[in-house]
Amino acid sequence: MSITLESKIPSGPVGQKWSRYRQDMKLVNPANKRKFDVIVVGSGLAGASAAATLGELGYNVKCFCFQDSPRRAHSIAAQGGINAAKNYRNDGDSIYRLFYDTIKGGDFRAREANVHRLAEVSVNIIDQCVAQGVPFAREYGGLLDNRSFGGAQVSRTFYARGQTGQQLLLGAYQALSRQIAAGTVTMYSRTEMLDLVLIDGHAKGIITRDLISGAIEAHSASAVVLATGGYGNVFYLSTNAKGCNVTSTFRAYKKGALFANPCYTQIHPTCIPVSGDYQSKLTLMSESLRNDGRVWVPKKEGDNRHPNEIPENERDYYLERKYPSYGNLAPRDIASRAAKQVCDEGRGVGPGGRGVYLDFSAAIQRFGRKKIEERYGNLFEMYERITGENAYDQPMRIYPAVHYTMGGLWVDYELMSNIPGLFVIGEANFSDHGANRLGASALMQGLADGYFVLPQTIGGYFAAQKNGKYPADHPEFRKAEEEVRARLNRLLSINGKKTVTEFHRELGKIMWDNVGMARTESSLMHALERIPVLRQEFWENVNVLGSGDDLNPALEYAGRVADFLEFGELLAYDALQREESCGGHFREEYQTEDGEALRNDDKYSYVAAWEYKGVDQFPTVHKEDLKYEEVKMSQRSYK
């Protein structure tokens, strides 16, 4: 297959592209929509909103998730909020400013046209969610409240206490439930997609495993939408839910879909530090805490006095010192690296010296404890539950952790991958955040894709298509089913000595130490040597007990880790190829004198989209050049 990267960006000024696109797009006759079957894999914000909206439009939808209910998708855990350019505060916000902030926050590595569209539909999202009954925070006058978030100087973040993701997802889940009742959507919970099926080069279905009965099934459709989230768990420890995985997008990659910018991974600055080897995941403390919390470490190395005993003049509020205009609200990548730096200098706090303080005493003095409780009560509670410490009386301890992945399957303006009929939405695609995502923008993107963009653009594909779908016993389905069965049987028959978790932990350690917050050519080369060795050992020595014919969590997990063991290598290749620092990708060789990321726009202002060439083969990189017509590229500065 020869590959050309056609971004299909409509012509015209950036502010008119989306409306022009909609004027020109081909429509599917309402009576014909019923004839098109759409598979939506994933029921998070992106998947649930897409499945519900496609159902409302009259398409025949099948939606899949691996949890026992679509309401439990990882999106449920988002805490802080969702951005929208409503300018309800009258503080100078606008669609243009949200667009600009997102492009700049992404370190000039995102597509202008996509980002502008995102900013445009952001306002519709809030309206839609309010109409669904999402209980956003309100002011006494009854109007919607906002808060500020990192990387922006306006207050444009809408929130529902510390549970914004939960409330938005429940809104989408309820809309989805309404369509399930109406018969337009069939829901398959506890069902995992294990392969993508292509017929004549088009995505025409998937192979799934029923996680309760173990049955391998073929599902045929006119198009496939992947909304399966991010790949942060390749690092083993992350803030992602335990089940988050790369399987569906990686399977699609192996079938020819291009994987774009996998090295753009976001490390979140405010997570609860690791406490021991048994640690199974890391917990995020919402970034919104940085609105009122001040970040500091002792000025002296190895100062292990109780934080309350360290006098003001012996504390280094390093974010305020280094970035006076953004201070504690500096973007995530910058705040994370700054924390690593002070810990590397030996000034970190808590177990192993990998932690910094997030201190609320000034805010409590200023606004009173009650106000702080109202704003962050549930987060303080969560912190206490996990650490046993009370953050009203002493500062929280935080440390950066893997949180979000900007990379994902390559998609064009219509959110279609290079495989016709395969659409990718939400965190699973690469599209809108460039090299770094701003806080409260993932929820916005997931819902923009699912409610407002994909349901429109998918019609263009159908309108131009004659061959709708194929019977599920087509030879391509049979072949893919057999491959899936063979792989599961192979996993079950190795009977080695090590558990899946042990392999996952080892992979995570390789990734975090060598491909984590700071990368160098030699660390990446080291990772590229170690990962294939570990992968080989996995296939010779993993122990997966039980059978494939009933609920078997070990088998599910083994399949996901097997994919991570290939994917980690791709991530490292991408990081090695990109000889610059930008956003979440920091190469130590490329930094300014004061330690900031040093981009190389002449050579690297492109999207790197990788083509699979076989296990143990070097993948081929394809490049989509990024053109900045609206925004002038500049060195990102938050000083």
Partner 1 sequence: MNLTLRVWRQKNAKTSGQFVTYQATDISAEMSFLEMLDVVNEELIKKGEEQIAFDHDCREGICGSCGMVINGTPHGPLSATTTCQLHMRFFKDGDTITIEPWRASSFPIIKDLVVDRTAFDRIIQSGGFVSVSTGGAPDGNAIPIPKEDADKAMDAAQCIGCGACVAACKNASAMLFVSAKVSHLGLLPQGHVEADRRVLNMVATMDEEGFGNCTNTGSCEAACPKEISLDNIARMNRAYAKALFKNKLA
Q: Least distance in Å: CB of 533 to partner 1? A: 22
**Residue placing its CB nearer to partner 1 in the complex, 197 or 372:** 372
**Residue placing its CB nearer to ligand FAD in the complex, 364 or 401:** 401
Q: Give the whole-angstrom CA distance, residue 68 versus residue 76.
A: 14
Find which of partner 1, ligand FAD, none residue 636 binds, CB within 5 to 8 Å per kind. none
Amino acid present at 326: Y
Work out which of 40, 54, 73, 558 binds ligand FAD, going by CB under 6 A: 73
Work out which of 167, 240, 418, 457 binds ligand FAD, going by CB under 6 A: 240
Neighbours of 87 (CB within 10 A): 18
Element (H, E) at 295: strand 294-298
Tokens read off for 479: 């072949």
Q: Give the whole-angstrom CA distance, residue 297 versus residue 280.
A: 27
**Residue 443 interacting with ligand FAD (CB under 6 A):** yes
Work out which of 74, 156, 332, 578 binds ligand FAD, going by CB under 6 A: 74
Work out which of 106, 229, 293, 459 binds ligand FAD, going by CB under 6 A: 229
Q: Least distance in Å: CB of 136 to partner 1? A: 7
**Residue 452 interacting with ligand FAD (CB under 6 A):** no
Strand extents, DSSP E, 385-447: 396-405, 408-409, 422-424
Find which of ligand FAD, partner 1, none residue 302 binds, CB within 5 to 8 Å per kind. none
Find which of partner 1, ligand FAD, none residue 42 binds, CB within 5 to 8 Å per kind. ligand FAD
**Residue placing its CB nearer to ligand FAD in the complex, 250 or 590:** 250
User: Pairing relation of β-strands 223-226 and 157-158?
Assistant: unpaired
Q: Which of 231, 565, 613 is nearest to 408 (CA)?
A: 231
Q: Which residues, 6+ apart, have CB-to-CB distance to 4 below 8 Å? A: none
Tokens read off for 471: 């019977």
**Residue placing its CB nearer to partner 1 in the complex, 86 or 332:** 86
Work out which of 193, 570, 582, 607 binds ligand FAD, going by CB under 6 A: 193
Q: Which residues, 6+ apart, have CB-to-CB distance to 442 below 8 Å? A: 78, 404, 427, 433
Q: Give the whole-angstrom CA distance, residue 470 versus residue 219.
A: 10
Catalytic residues: 332
Find which of ligand FAD, partner 1, none residue 404 binds, CB within 5 to 8 Å per kind. ligand FAD
C-alpha separations of 177 from 23, 46, 173, 447 in Å: 31, 15, 6, 17
Work out which of 53, 122, 166, 441 binds ligand FAD, going by CB under 6 A: 441
Q: Least distance in Å: CB of 465 to partner 1? A: 23
**Residue 291 interacting with ligand FAD (CB under 6 A):** no
Q: Give the whole-angstrom CA distance, residue 42 versus residue 50.
A: 10
- State in Å, rounded, how far the first CA of the chain is from the last one: 47
Q: Least distance in Å: CB of 547 to ligand FAD? A: 20
Work out which of 427, 506, 574, 580 binds ligand FAD, going by CB under 6 A: 427
Q: What is the footprint of ligand FAD within residues 77-106 (CB under 6 A)?
A: 77-82
User: Pairing relation of β-strands 422-424 and 223-226?
Assistant: parallel
Q: Which residues, 6+ apart, have CB-to-CB distance to 388 below 8 Å? A: none
Q: Which residues, 6+ apart, have CB-to-CB distance to 614 below 8 Å? A: none
Work out which of 7, 43, 167, 184 binds ligand FAD, going by CB under 6 A: 43
**Residue placing its CB nearer to ligand FAD in the complex, 44 or 459:** 44
Find which of ligand FAD, partner 1, none residue 373 binds, CB within 5 to 8 Å per kind. none
In sequence order, what DSSP letters do the residues of 18-87 get, joined into one string?
HHHHHHH-----HHHHTT-EEEEE--SHHHHHHHHHHHHHT-EEEEE-SSSSGGGSGGGG--S-EE----
Q: Least distance in Å: CB of 279 to ligand FAD? A: 15
Find which of ligand FAD, partner 1, none residue 86 binds, CB within 5 to 8 Å per kind. partner 1
Q: Which of 137, 139, 141, 158 is nearest to 87 (CA)?
A: 158
Find which of partner 1, ligand FAD, none residue 69 binds, CB within 5 to 8 Å per kind. partner 1
**Residue placing its CB nearer to partner 1 in the complex, 383 or 586:** 383
**Residue placing its CB nearer to partner 1 in the complex, 120 or 481:** 120
Work out which of 38, 57, 65, 411 binds ligand FAD, going by CB under 6 A: 65
Find which of partner 1, ligand FAD, none residue 550 binds, CB within 5 to 8 Å per kind. partner 1
Neighbours of 243 (CB within 10 A): 18
Work out which of 146, 228, 261, 270 binds ligand FAD, going by CB under 6 A: 228
Q: Give the whole-angstrom CA distance, residue 478 versus residue 463.
A: 28
Q: Give the whole-angstrom CA distance, residue 495 versus residue 492.
A: 7
**Residue 46 interacting with ligand FAD (CB under 6 A):** yes
Find which of partner 1, ligand FAD, none residue 88 binds, CB within 5 to 8 Å per kind. partner 1
Work out which of 37, 93, 120, 192 binds ligand FAD, going by CB under 6 A: 192
- Residue 374: CA count within 13 A, CB half-sphere: 9
**Residue placing its CB nearer to partner 1 in the complex, 126 or 531:** 126
**Residue 431 interacting with ligand FAD (CB under 6 A):** no
Tokens read off for 321: 């010192």
Give ∠ CA 208-209-210 in degrees, rounded to 5.
120
Q: Give the whole-angstrom CA distance, residue 240 versus residue 230.
A: 9
Find which of partner 1, ligand FAD, none residue 301 binds, CB within 5 to 8 Å per kind. none
- Choose the stretch contacting ligand FAD; rule: CB under 6 A; options: 210-218, 272-280, 426-434, 581-589: 426-434
Q: Give the whole-angstrom CA distance, residue 416 versus residue 466.
A: 18
**Residue 205 interacting with ligand FAD (CB under 6 A):** no
Interface residues toward ligand FAD, by CB under 6 A: 41-47, 64-67, 73-75, 77-82, 164-165, 192-193, 227-229, 239-240, 244-245, 247-248, 284, 403-404, 426-428, 440-443, 446
